[in-house]
């Protein structure tokens, strides 16, 4: 039944957007963008919500949206945790106690249209704006981020080198080639060449650059902080090769390839890689 609903949804969107492109390419591209920016509503369980509310520290106003953020306080360096697409800050719960044992003052936030934040649409650039607000408000020194959260962190770090609070980026399976990522979306909805062309034209009008400008391996060249990059060879969501390209353009970043963890990169082994990195680079990361 679920597969039937998915197929029907694709059929409806595909025919509507492709049909619209015959009359107005720009409007068809705008319709495609609206679909692309809308996360499927991931229901937060009552227990997860209760946990987040217990540690909710406030809301940031970013544009017209209210961004929920959380804090697990300690006296050491400030670290920000960033989730990926259709996820939210609860994903980091297994990390909190271990980070606090290293005396980190831990923060997390929910991106637009995710978790307890407001909004119905999402974009990596909007996420980067939320990161900027949080980093500047709390003078964040380290970031751990997954998937599109890692991509948004790269966007932020490439555009905001001063004032420099940020010292380290820990990136887990970041989005790499934006054009390839968009092609997956176009193919999924079976969108025609006219829509794809209009989408690219709209993108350039909106952001002032073509899609390849926002490839992570290009943006990382401007990132001045050190870091750790982890990507699994069996990631079926985002290509491992993209992180190889990022690593090639980030000489002060350490690249670790894993196998058998997929895109989500969850589990004690991954956590241990991150904690070991933090112990090595931060003198304040002393067990308490």
Confidence tier at 6 by pLDDT (50, 70, 90): low
Asked if residue 285 has pLDDT above 60, the reply is no
Confidence tier at 5 by pLDDT (50, 70, 90): low
Confidence tier at 288 by pLDDT (50, 70, 90): very low
pTM (2 decimals)? 0.93
How far apart are the C-alpha atoms of 196 and 190, rounded to whole Å?
10
pLDDT for 60 equals 98
How far apart are the C-alpha atoms of 224 and 252, rounded to whole Å?
8
In this structure, are strands 253-258 and 65-72 parallel, antiparallel, or unpaired? unpaired
Asked if residue 2 has pLDDT above 80, the reply is no
Across the chain, mean pLDDT equals 92
Q: What is the mean pLDDT of residues 218-222?
A: 97
| Peptide bond before residue 163 is cis, with ω within 30 degrees of 0 | yes
Residue 45, both tokens: 């369980």
| Tens-place pLDDT, residues 175-206 | 999 888 888 889 988 999 999 999 999 999 98
Confidence tier at 163 by pLDDT (50, 70, 90): low
HSE at residue 23, side-chain half, CA atoms within 13 A, is 5
**Domains of the chain from N-terminus onward:** 37-177+215-281 (3.40.50.1820)
Confidence tier at 161 by pLDDT (50, 70, 90): confident
Beta bridge partners of 146: 172
| Tens-place pLDDT, residues 105-125 | 999 999 999 999 999 999 999
Asked if residue 283 has pLDDT above 80, the reply is no
| Tens-place pLDDT, residues 260-271 | 999 999 999 999
How far apart are the C-alpha atoms of 13 and 160, rounded to whole Å?
37
pLDDT for 281 equals 86
Asked if residue 10 has pLDDT above 80, the reply is no
The closest alpha carbon to 175, from 253, 89, 235, 122, belongs to 235
pLDDT for 3 equals 63
| Tens-place pLDDT, residues 165-181 | 899 999 999 999 988 88
User: CA-based Rg of the chain, rounded to a whole angstrom?
Assistant: 19
Asked if residue 284 has pLDDT above 60, the reply is no
Confidence tier at 13 by pLDDT (50, 70, 90): confident
Contacts 24+ apart (CB under 8 A), 116-120: 116/44, 116/49, 116/52, 116/53, 116/56, 116/68, 116/88, 117/59, 117/65, 117/66, 117/67, 117/68, 118/65, 118/66, 118/67, 119/65, 120/38
CB 141 within 8 A of CB 207: no
């Amino acid at each position: 039944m679920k597969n039937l609903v998915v197929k029907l949804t694709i059929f409806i969107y595909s025919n509507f957007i492709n049909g619209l492109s015959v009359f107005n390419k720009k409007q068809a591209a705008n319709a495609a963008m609206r679909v692309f920016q809308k996360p499927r509503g991931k229901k937060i369980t009552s227990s997860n919500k209760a946990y987040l509310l217990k540690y909710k520290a406030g809301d940031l106003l970013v544009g017209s949206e209210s961004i929920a953020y959380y804090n697990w306080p300690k006296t050491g360096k400030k670290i920000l945790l960033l989730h990926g697409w259709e996820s939210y800050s609860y994903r980091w719960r297994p990390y909190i106690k271990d980070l606090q044992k290293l005396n980190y003052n831990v923060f997390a936030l929910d991106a637009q249209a995710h978790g307890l934040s407001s909004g119905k649409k999402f974009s990596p650039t909007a996420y980067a704006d939320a990161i900027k607000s949080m980093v500047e408000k709390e003078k964040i020194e380290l970031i751990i981020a997954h998937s599109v959260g890692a991509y948004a962190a790269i966007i932020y770090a490439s555009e905001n080198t001063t004032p420099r609070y940020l010292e380290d980026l820990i990136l887990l399976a970041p989005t790499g080639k934006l054009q390839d990522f968009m092609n997956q979306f176009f193919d999924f909805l079976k969108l025609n060449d006219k829509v794809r062309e209009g989408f690219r034209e709209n993108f350039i009008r909106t952001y002032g650059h073509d899609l390849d400008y926002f490839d992570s391996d290009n943006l990382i060249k401007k990132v001045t902080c050190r870091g750790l990059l982890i990507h699994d060879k069996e990631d079926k969501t985002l290509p491992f090769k993209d992180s190889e390209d990022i690593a090639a353009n980030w000489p002060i970043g350490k690249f670790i390839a894993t196998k058998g963890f997929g895109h989500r990169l969850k589990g004690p082994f991954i956590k241990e890689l991150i904690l070991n990195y933090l112990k090595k680079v931060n003198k304040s990361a002393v067990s308490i």
